[in-house]
């Protein structure tokens, strides 16, 4: 499961590369095509890996949980790759922000159809993850279903947060970002992150079974990733047709979420010496901390590319 998180980091790398290449060399159609394909390839391989663990005749409990979690990680990687694909004309965002909505959609921007297709990717994956996780939780009396269902629901919340990020980038690129959207997406991401954290706390306090430890703790840190994504959505909203002196402080949000995951992982690693129920979450949290730190680099790049324009 920990290795599968590399797919998310790969997708985040493709996003960073596309934006940096535009800031340094301008728009490159080849890069705009190649790097999202690399991200999607990594996500598809991850989802196939997860599905393969579930496709056997005699699936063990650990394989059942791992298969669902790895597939969910692949879904997130696909959503992040869509962020990379939607960032192909990132330079239009500061240009549009300096103008007005009456200027219309730039000719270089994606068409309305392509923009809607990009937004549809995380929407469909969110629906898939939500239906799948609810189906698992309907048989929560079976421990593997209980664990897999809760974690998959947390991973789905991240996919839902990425809907907001993709929609924000697409609409700002097309100069169709509305006043209603300005803060709606921010509130939605905060809501999803808070619900995920509360879900994790509920799982931890709702029973005394050791099986609750891994999903409960992981859910709390998945909420931290939602908050890290919030920093990106918030930054793009703050600098859209306005000046914000605190914009360069927003990249600190994923730094704090990263430190939270890593410090919690270190404490859990100590506790795992006496209770093996903490062993898996202590390792997974290191990977989630790495994802948060990778998100820090993306937010910093966004700040450099948009807040200063």
What's the confidence (pLDDT) of residue 307? 54
Confidence of residue 309 (pLDDT cuts 50, 70, 90): very low
Determine the Cα–Cα distance for residues 299 and 24; give it in Å rounded to an integer: 17
Q: What's the residue count for the chain? A: 309
For residues 210 and 145, which has the higher predicted lDDT (pLDDT)? Answer: 145
| CA 111-114-119 angle, 5° bins | 125
3-state secondary structure of 157: helix
Within 87-178, where are the H helices? 92-97, 112-137, 143-173
What does each C-alpha distance from 190 to 120, 164, 186 come to in angstroms? 21, 11, 6
Of the pLDDT bands very low, low, confident and very high (cuts 50, 70, 90), residue 1 is: low
Q: How far is CA 249 from CA 169, 234, 244, 303, in A?
A: 20, 12, 10, 9
Q: Which of 22-31, 40-49, 84-93 has the lowest mean pLDDT?
A: 22-31
Tally of CA atoms within 13 A in the half-sphere of 216 that contains its CB: 16
Q: Model confidence over 283-298: pLDDT tens digits?
A: 999 999 999 999 998 8
What is the distance between the alpha carbons of residues 144 and 157, in angstroms, rounded to a whole number?
20
* Surface-to-core class of residue 60, CB atoms within 10 Å of its CB (0-12 exposed, 13-18 middle, 19+ buried): exposed
């Amino acid at each position: 499961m920990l290795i599968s998180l590399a797919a998310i980091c790969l997708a985040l790398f493709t996003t960073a590369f596309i934006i940096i290449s535009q800031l340094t060399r301008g728009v490159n159609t080849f890069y705009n095509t190649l790097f999202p394909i690399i991200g999607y390839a990594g996500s598809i391989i991850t989802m196939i890996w997860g599905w393969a663990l579930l496709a056997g005749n005699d699936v063990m409990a650990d394989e059942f949980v791992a298969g669902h979690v790895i597939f969910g990680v692949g879904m997130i990687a696909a959503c992040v790759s869509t962020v990379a694909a939607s960032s192909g004309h990132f330079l239009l965002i500061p240009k549009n922000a300096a103008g007005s909505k009456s200027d219309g959609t730039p000719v270089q921007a994606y068409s309305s159809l392509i923009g809607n297709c990009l937004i549809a990717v995380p929407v469909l994956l969110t629906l898939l993850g939500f239906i799948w996780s609810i189906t698992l939780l309907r048989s929560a009396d079976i421990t593997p279903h209980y664990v897999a269902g809760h974690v998959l629901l947390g991973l789905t919340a991240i996919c839902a947060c990425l809907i907001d990020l993709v929609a924000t980038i697409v609409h700002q690129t097309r100069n169709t970002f509305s006043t209603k959207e300005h803060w709606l997406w921010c509130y939605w991401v905060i809501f999803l992150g808070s619900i995920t954290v509360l879900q994790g706390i509920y799982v931890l306090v709702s029973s005394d079974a050791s099986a609750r430890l891994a999903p409960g703790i992981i859910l709390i840190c998945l909420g931290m990733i939602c908050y890290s994504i919030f920093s990106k959505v918030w930054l793009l909203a703050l600098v859209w047709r306005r000046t914000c002196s605190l914009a360069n402080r927003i990249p600190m949000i994923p730094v704090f979420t990263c430190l939270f995951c890593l410090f919690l992982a270190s404490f859990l690693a100590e506790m795992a010496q006496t209770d093996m129920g903490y062993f898996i979450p202590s390792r997974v949290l290191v990977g989630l901390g790495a994802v948060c730190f990778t998100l820090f680099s993306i937010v910093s790049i966004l700040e450099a590319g948009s807040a200063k324009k």
